[in-house]
Amino acid sequence: MNAPVLVINCGSSSIKYALVPDTPDQPRLAGLAERLGSSDARLKGTDSQGETYTQALSGADHTAALEAILTRLEGRRPGAVGHRIVHGGERFTRAARIDDDVVAAIEATAALAPLHNPANLQGIAATRQVFAALPQVAVFDTAFHQTLPPRAYRYALPEALYRDHGIRRYGFHGTSHAYVSARADALSGLDSGGWLTAHLGNGCSTAAVWEGQSRDTSMGLTPLEGLVMGTRSGDVDPGLHAHLARQLGWSLARIDEVLNRGSGLLGLSGLTNDMRELESAAKAGHAGAELAIEVFCYRIAKSLAALSCALPRLDGIVFTGGIGENSPQVRQRVVEALPHFGCRLDAAANRSTTLGREGRIDAGGPQLWVIPTDEEGRIAAETRQLLQEGHA
């Protein structure tokens, strides 16, 4: 299939789109419809000349937003639609062509991702209406981690919770970990290495990838487990919930809200979840900002050290995501906390590898790479591959 793939990432009030051509020499069209369902709904994006646009879509729902997106494709006709779907449970170990059965399976998994899967389904329903003739493919955030062995995905909980309710570790950001580890294989010349990948954005996770397969990862049943994130706490004592309920009388909803939206870099610093702002505040002497960065970096290093147990051999570490791609300071602090790995940072290469640049930043020891993630590109590639294999 030579036609471009339209990649859709649908939230409850937003649709992110990218029209991904099959060759990198053609420009990508991309944009975001946001605040859907409200009077100030709008569509923002970039055209093929690199010019940005903003279009008011007052009161638009998902279907109306997709119709507006269609008019922004400059007459280029997609050959398929690839949907980012957050949770595929245990059923989906790879991308799947969307039909009624797949929609029902995504619905059945909604209990595990109540904020995301229903919104993803809204996107599928609207897209099937607006692009009725096109094949649609679901690409799951969890699928790449379905190769985890039981020792990595099982919690030490009563077996019935796993068997009857699917309580286990699933992992997320799979598309990103899959993309950057494959890219590290290609760039390093190692046919298939042992990589620790660190996706550090607003959401953060690590993964251990061996011979192209995920062997362990830091996120679990939900995307709350693991690293410190923008506003998410990551790991806390599992006794915390009961303690807050008993001592402070907090409801489950309040605890969930605080751990998901009021914690992480924001909670620690008392200032912001934005790493750029934290770095400048810390430089100006803000103690909370400094502490937030220190805890953030230490916890990444600790997670990487733990995940190294999943690899028979460590070839290198890959940094990606908004922070991983752009913050030399965070990379340096993480690497400095891993002296026992034998890591040696090339300080000049670390400083200059930012702003979407791909590059190697070590001076010996395990390889250290900065690889800008490309989740849209990977979703488009998986969509193409599935359709070419004739699973259509």
**Ramachandran assignment for 267, one of left (phi > 0), alpha (psi -120 to 50 degrees), beta (any other):** alpha
CA 341/CA 320 separation, integer angstroms: 20
The residues, any chain, with a CB within 8 Å of residue 391's CB and separated by 6 or more, are 96, 97
By beta carbon distance, the residue nearest ligand AMP is: 322
Using an 8 Å Cβ cutoff, are 344 and 357 in contact?
no
Q: Establish whether 362 is a catalytic residue.
A: no
The residues, any chain, with a CB within 8 Å of residue 220's CB and separated by 6 or more, are 155, 169, 170, 171, 226
Residues in contact with ligand AMP, total (CB under 6 A)?
Answer: 12
Determine whether the annotation assigns residue 229 to a binding site: no
The binder of ligand AMP chosen from 202, 260, 332, 385 (CB under 6 A) = 202
- Kindly tell me which of 316 and 321 has the beta carbon lying closer to ligand AMP: 321
- Segment contacting ligand AMP (CB under 6 A): 18-26, 159-167, 290-298, 319-327? 319-327
Q: Binding of ligand AMP at residue 201 (CB under 6 A)?
A: yes
Determine whether the annotation assigns residue 2 to a binding site: no
Smallest distance, ligand AMP to C-beta of residue 131, A: 27
- Residue 85 DSSP SS3: strand
Q: Binding of ligand AMP at residue 322 (CB under 6 A)?
A: yes
Burial 73-110 (b: 16+ CB within 10 A, else e): beeeebbbbbbbbbbbbeebeebbbbeeebbeebeebb
Smallest distance, ligand AMP to C-beta of residue 276, A: 4
Instruction: Give DSSP secondary structure letters for 4-58.
Output: -EEEEEE-SS-EEEEEE-SSTTSPPEEEEEESTTSTT-EEEEE-TTS-EEEEE-T
- Kindly tell me which of 11 and 201 has the beta carbon lying closer to ligand AMP: 201
From the list 8, 45, 52, 50, the residue with the least C-alpha distance to 27 is 50
Instruction: Give DSSP secondary structure letters for 302-344.
Output: HHHHHHGGG-SS--EEEEEHHHHHH-HHHHHHHHHT-GGGT--
Of 207-236, which residues contact ligand AMP (CB under 6 A)? Answer: 230
Determine whether the annotation assigns residue 252 to a binding site: no
- Segment contacting ligand AMP (CB under 6 A): 147-155, 160-168, 250-258, 317-325? 317-325
- Kindly tell me which of 214 and 353 has the beta carbon lying closer to ligand AMP: 353
- Segment contacting ligand AMP (CB under 6 A): 54-62, 156-164, 252-260, 322-330? 322-330
- For residues 268 to 287, the per-residue mask of contacts with ligand AMP, x marking binding by CB under 6 A and - elsewhere, is ------xxx--x--------
Smallest distance, ligand AMP to C-beta of residue 97, A: 29
Smallest distance, ligand AMP to C-beta of residue 177, A: 13
Query: Which residue in 141, 216, 315, 362 is the catalytic one?
Result: 141
Helix crossing, 62-71 with 117-130: angle to 10°? 50
Smallest distance, ligand AMP to C-beta of residue 326, A: 3
CA 200/CA 244 separation, integer angstroms: 29
Catalytic residues: 141
Interface residues toward ligand AMP, by CB under 6 A: 201-202, 230, 274-276, 279, 321-323, 326-327
Annotated binding site for substrate: 84
Annotated binding site for Mg(2+): 9, 375
Annotated binding site for ATP: 16, 199-203, 274-276, 322-326
